[in-house]
Amino acid sequence: QDVADFEWVMWFTSFRNIIIFALSGHVLFAKICSMTMPQHRAVMYMIYGALAVLGSMGLLYLMIILSHCLLLYSVALAKQKWLCYVAGLCCLASFKVEPFGSWQSGFVTGAFDLQDVLFYGGCTFTIMRCMSFALESSQKEEGIYSIFDLLKYNFYLPFFFFGPVMTFDQFHAQVSTRELRRKDDEMRNIRVSALLHVGAIVAVDIFFHFFYILTLPSDLKFVNRLSDWSLAGLAYSNLVYDWVKAAVMFGVTNTIARLDHLEPPQPPKCITMLYIFAETHFDRGINDWLCKYVYDHIGENHDNVLKELVASTATFAITTLWLGPCQVVYIWSLVNCFGLNFELWVQKFFQLGPFAKLEAKLSGAMSRRIRAAFGAVNFWAIVLYNILALNSLEFAQLVTKRLLVMGFPVSTLSIWFITYCGVQLIKERERILALQEEDKAKVE
């Protein structure tokens, strides 16, 4: 195995072990609490989560987390949104910008697999949760939520290290419910989801030992010898690998959260179904957080081009800080921000009178075909933009040059046509699902 493949195996193996030991203990503990003291279950979740963090990362790490919680709680007392943003982003920067990140990580002694991932994951997700708490508190009409509410929110173990982020208002409302009732077939769906994710963990664990998709892009001499189709497949497969990692990680934690009578953010949308920049996200929790507190807050109805530009720029600026500022992240943020805005510009352009009248004369099928043609271009733009973050700038440049310049017209048009057919199928599936939802709403 190459180095990057080995690192992925180590990451996935360590994550699997954490799931088996820490989260299985949480499931048993949560079940006992929900049966014996449902009115105090949030407190028991907090105690178990804090003890698990203490046992895995040590007392100094727990003190770092508590200090940031206390700082942002103190800021929330002022009930000023701008102050919450400034304090929260400064705390986030303290983990993402050197030398502050290394200084804080130096307090954690010892070494084990995934220590760095657990450190930065737990800290940065904590900051996002504390910012959500502070912003929701600033909107509260009377008084403020207690620091006890913040600790119950932050130390819910399934979400602590790896997310997803549930906004404080959703978590507080759901965990405060005393009447714990299951929907029809809810337990059956949870069992099916659990079995599917166990199967996915086993399958991915096996695949990591036989596939070298992650390290092939680093060997540019070898990649240059691949055909255009193989190169396109390699680029697409890298995004699929990252999606599988996110789907398994968030799927497992979400299943446990649903056992605890919570409705967490959904796992990421399959990469194959992403042909719109507005839906491109691998962490739906962070996406919901950014949309609520930044993107929708500034962009409002998203019908003004200037407001949309400001909203998307602010959103990707915070995302850049979240991912960790560096050259590749800067480029990734810039091109994705451009793609999101260009999508809106094109949409506004074709909503002008002459184009709107022309589309009104077309049949629904023909309109869908035209939109699918643009969607196919969007799909490959999303692939090319996101392999920047997963691989390297050189690999992204090579794929772009081969598919758009050297491969034109045969490879370019044939790959575009196959993608166009796929987008058509996806749009048809979305149309059928929308009709089913309408029928279901009418029945209810």
Contact residues for 53 (Cβ-Cβ < 8 A; gap 6+):
61, 62, 65, 122, 155, 157, 160
Q: Considering 113, 146, 176, which residue would you say is the last residue of a domain? A: 176
pLDDT band for position 254 (cuts 50, 70, 90): confident
Quick check: is 192 in a domain?
A: no
Quick check: is 260 in a domain?
A: no
- Distance between CA atoms of 263 and 271, rounded to whole angstroms? 23
Residue 317 has pLDDT above 90, yes or no: yes
Quick check: is 66 in a domain?
A: yes
If you average pLDDT over every residue of the chain, what do you get? 84
| 272, 153: one domain | no
pLDDT band for position 330 (cuts 50, 70, 90): very high
Top pLDDT among 195 and 27 is at: 195
| 273, 374: one domain | yes
| 274, 165: one domain | no
- Residue numbers of the domain that contains 96: 6-176
Instruction: For the beta carbon of residue 302, count every other beta carbon within 10 angstroms.
Output: 16
Q: What is the pTM of this model?
A: 0.87
| 25, 146: one domain | yes
Quick check: is 203 in a domain?
A: no
Residue 333 has pLDDT above 70, yes or no: yes
Q: Considering 176, 200, 228, which residue would you say is the last residue of a domain? A: 176
Among 49-58, 127-136, 266-275, 353-362, the range of highest mean pLDDT: 127-136
Q: Considering 128, 144, 176, which residue would you say is the last residue of a domain? A: 176
Q: How many domains does the chain have?
A: 2
pLDDT band for position 137 (cuts 50, 70, 90): very high
Tell me the average pLDDT across 235-258: 83
Residue 15 has pLDDT above 90, yes or no: no
| 157, 275: one domain | no
**Helix intervals (H) in 58-175:** 59-76, 81-96, 100-105, 115-139, 147-154, 157-160, 168-175
Tell me the average pLDDT across 363-386: 87
| 172, 270: one domain | no
Instruction: Give the per-residue pLDDT at 4.
Output: 46
Quick check: is 140 in a domain?
A: yes
| 141, 281: one domain | no
Quick check: is 243 in a domain?
A: no
| 43, 157: one domain | yes
Instruction: Give the per-residue pLDDT at 38.
Output: 66
Tell me the average pLDDT across 392-418: 89
Tell me the average pLDDT across 122-143: 91
Rounded to 5 degrees, φ, ψ at 303 are -110, 0
| 171, 276: one domain | no
Quick check: is 215 in a domain?
A: no
Quick check: is 222 in a domain?
A: no
Residue 353 has pLDDT above 80, yes or no: no
Residue 12 has pLDDT above 60, yes or no: no
| 137, 271: one domain | no
pLDDT band for position 319 (cuts 50, 70, 90): very high
| 171, 273: one domain | no
| 172, 307: one domain | no
Q: What would the pLDDT profile of 300-312 be if each residue is shown by its tens digit?
A: 877 788 888 999 9
Q: Which amino acid is at 421?
A: C
pLDDT band for position 21 (cuts 50, 70, 90): low
